[in-house]
Chain A
Amino acid sequence: MADPVLFEFLHTEMVAELWAPDPDPGWGGKKSLSVLEGLGFRVGQALGERLPRETLAFREELDALKFLCKDLWAAMFQKHMDGLRTNHQGTYVLQDNSFPLLITMGSGPQYLEEAPKFLAFTCGLLCGALHTLGFQSLVTASVASLPACKFQVVIQKS
């Protein structure tokens, strides 16, 4: 059993290593997070595949989102998501009032500019897990004040 601290430290190193050097630079800073997002996506997909069978049988979007908030979050961060809101049209907002990967950066607006790169991996991970559960989605994250953050999930209708 790997200790959760290992994941946190590894994540920090990954951010330091991978967020800047993008082999395929596109428009501005936005693109530079795609590598981290891609990594997260793959990990999320694989984690999704390793879920117990019963959970893979989700029919409803909402069940899948609830799963992310409870089980997946508990597996990653040993806690549940603090809030889940939806407009019932495929858009969900997942709120974490003290996102573990941001906690160590302090509270308040001081390091706000640095925050996005610490969220990219997790965005990808949520997206990847949803992909395994059968939902195409766009996941973005926003931070108003550390260490609280919101993940917005938009389910893509095919």
Chain B
Amino acid sequence: MSRQANRGTENKKMSSELFTLTYGALVTQLCKDYENDEDVNKQLDRMGYNIGVRLIEDFLARSNVGRCHDFRETADVIAKVAFKMYLGITPSITNWSPAGDEFSLILENNPLVDFVELPDNHSSLIYSNLLCGVLRGALEMVQMAVEAKFVQDTLKGDGVTEIRMRFIRRIEDNLPAGEE
């Protein structure tokens, strides 16, 4: 009986490691395929974007979160609901700009970087850049153009990992008449 329960958590742990390890293998491969780190960063962001535009559907279906009315609410949902649901962590929200159009997500422990050590010759590689693409892609699908970027990274010796989020504009869609 207890053995059975033990198996369950074991599997969960492995399933999480499966994602982390797969991501690591992908980054390794991209570093092989592309000459410079900038291109790898771009590629990771683009793949993240593609994931984000699909992940938002999954998120909305599972979370029952309605439309956010301001960027502060959006920040809350991202940190407390979305990150929790998909990565099992809750980043803290800090550094609001006075205008309320910029904030930072502080990640104490980034599950993407378990087992990772950045070699010296990849100093400009943004290892977890996929996350920025995911955030951008997902928010674009709910009519928000944002910019997401890493400004601190524990892999590069910073104390914490910080993603800076900047609201650019609301995307005016050509919605069919009568829909909001």
As a 0/1 sequence over residues 70 to 92 of chain B, the CB contacts with chain A under 8 angstroms (1 = contact) are 00000000000000011110000
Asked if B88 and A1 sit within 8 Å, CB to CB, the answer is yes
| Interface of chain B: mostly helix, strand, loop or mixed | helix
Chain A residues with Cβ below 8 Å from B32 are 23
Give the interface segment out of A42-50, A83-91, A108-116, A139-147. A42-50
Given the known interface contacts A18-B29, A46-B21, the answer about A13 and B47 at a Cβ–Cβ threshold of 8 Å is yes
* CB-CB contacts below 8 Å: A15-60 with B: 16-18, 21, 23, 35, 38-39, 42-43, 46-47, 50, 52
Q: Which of A1, A9, A18, A71 contacts B7 (CB 8 A)?
A: A71
Evaluate contact between B55 and A9: CB separation under 8 angstroms. yes
A78 close to chain B: CB less than 8 A: yes
Least distance between A13 CB and chain B CB atoms (Å): 4
Quick check: is A74 within 8 A (CB to CB) of the other chain? Answer: yes
Q: Are the CB atoms of B11 and A11 closer together than 8 Å?
A: no
**A42 vs B27: C-alpha distance in the bound complex, in angstroms?**
12
Query: Residues of B contacting A39 with CB < 8 Å?
Result: 22, 25-26, 29
- With an 8 Å Cβ cutoff, the count of chain A residues facing the other chain is 32
Q: Mark B110-138, 1 if CB is under 8 A from A, else 0.
A: 01000100000000000000100000000
Taking Cβ atoms with an 8 Å cutoff, the residues of B that contact A are 7, 10-23, 25-26, 28-29, 32-33, 43, 47, 50-51, 54-55, 58, 85-88, 111, 115, 130
A2 partner residues in chain B, CB cutoff 8 A = 15-16, 18-20, 86-88, 111
Given the interface pairs A10-B23, A11-B22, A43-B22, the reply to whether A75 lies near B15 with Cβ below 8 Å is: yes
Is the CB–CB distance between A35 and B29 below 8 Å?
yes
20 A-B pairs whose Cβ atoms sit less than 8 Å apart in the complex: A2-B111, A5-B55, A9-B51, A10-B19, A11-B22, A16-B50, A18-B26, A18-B29, A21-B33, A23-B32, A39-B29, A42-B21, A46-B17, A46-B115, A71-B7, A71-B10, A71-B14, A72-B14, A75-B18, A78-B15
